[in-house]
């Protein structure tokens, strides 16, 4: 009887797919696996992902694969304390110059406020936005974009970067928002790994250079010693001959 009920009962195969929580968990699981794979590659194949810019590029590609946004721009704090573009990935049909201008404006506001920034043209935010937010909305309108988010990246309580995502599809950006927040910390870890690896490579190169200089100096010293021995030998022969002639 139970078999007949099971057999005849309608089965909703899309129930799991329509469950936003399950879908989000699968998405984060896939994202986590890609992040681990990136770190694994960075550790065991440093020639593939070796610089902070390459790390940012890899994370940008990862984000675009998952949510198909128009543009991802990652900013890092430079030595002067300002956020500077480290990597930009945009859709092939979108003007990268416009994306860069919008991203720079978002990053500038994040640098000032140190907190997450959102702008949605499909929402009426006139009461909640300040002058900077209104300027951002105006810039989005002028460039044909409909939404933008800037997620600050902090390390040890200090703003070290920002991840900016902009799109013409606000619903895609809303779906990606938690993922963008999730991926911000791994970006810092990946960049830190790249910088440490770069520092180690530079240190090894300096050591190798010093070893080579030492080898060259040692070779020159050996040649000088050999020449001195020759001089001493000839001097000894000369003195011996002079002594013999005096006798």
Please write the tens of the pLDDT for every residue from 139-149: 998 988 999 99
**Cα–Cα nearest to 89, from 69, 68, 60, 53:** 60
pLDDT of 152 over the 90 cut: yes
Contact 143, 120 (CB under 8 A): no
pLDDT of 38 over the 90 cut: no
pLDDT of 108 over the 90 cut: yes
Tokens of 185: 């910390």
pLDDT of 129 over the 80 cut: no
Q: Tell me the residue ranges of DSSP E strands in 95-156.
A: 117-120, 147-155
Report, as an integer, the average pLDDT of 108-123.
90
pLDDT band at 13 (very low <50, low <70, confident <90, very high): very low
pLDDT digits (tens, 9 = 90+) for 174-229: 988 988 898 888 887 887 788 788 788 888 889 998 998 888 888 888 888 888 88
Per cent of the chain over pLDDT 70 is 87
pLDDT of 78 over the 80 cut: yes
pLDDT band at 163 (very low <50, low <70, confident <90, very high): very high
SS (H, E, C) the chain: CHHHHHHHCCCCCCHHHHCHHHHHHHHHHHHHHHHHHHHHHHHHCCCCCCCHHHHHHHHHHHHHHHHCCCEEEEEEECCCCCEEEEEEEECCCCCHHHHHHHHHHHHHHHHHHCCCEEEECCCCCCCCCCHHHHHHHHHHHHHCCCEEEEEEEEECCEEEEEEEEEECCHHHHHHHHHHHHHHHHHHHHHHHHHHHHHHHHHHHHHHHHHHHHHHHHHHHHHHHHHHHHHHHHHHHHHHHHHHHHHC
Least confident range from 31-45, 63-77, 122-136, 151-165: namely 122-136
pLDDT band at 134 (very low <50, low <70, confident <90, very high): confident
């Amino acid at each position: 009887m139970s078999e007949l009920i099971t057999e005849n009962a309608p089965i909703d195969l899309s129930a799991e797919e329509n469950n936003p929580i399950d879908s989000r968990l699968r998405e984060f699981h896939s994202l986590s696996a890609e992040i681990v794979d990136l770190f694994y590659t960075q550790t065991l194949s440093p020639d593939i992902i070796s610089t902070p810019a390459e790390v940012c590029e890899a994370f940008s590609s990862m984000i675009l694969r998952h949510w198909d946004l128009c543009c991802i721009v990652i900013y890092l704090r430079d030595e002067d304390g300002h956020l500077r573009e480290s990597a930009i990935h945009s859709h092939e049909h979108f003007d990268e110059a416009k994306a860069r201008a919008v991203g720079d404006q978002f990053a500038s506001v994040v640098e000032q406020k140190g907190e997450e920034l959102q702008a949605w043209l499909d929402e009426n935010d006139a009461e909640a936005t300040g002058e900077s937010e209104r300027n951002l909305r105006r810039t989005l309108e002028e460039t044909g974009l409909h939404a933008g988010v800037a997620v600050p990246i902090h390390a040890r309580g200090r703003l070290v970067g920002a991840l900016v995502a902009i799109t013409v599809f606000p619903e895609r950006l809303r779906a990606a928002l938690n993922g963008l927040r999730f991926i911000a910390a791994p970006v810092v870890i990946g960049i830190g790994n790249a910088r440490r690896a770069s520092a180690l490579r530079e240190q090894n190169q300096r050591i190798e250079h010093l070893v080579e200089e030492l080898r060259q100096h040692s070779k020159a010293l050996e040649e000088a010693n050999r020449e001195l021995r020759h001089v001493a030998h000839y001097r000894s022969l000369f003195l011996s001959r002079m002594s013999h002639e005096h006798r």
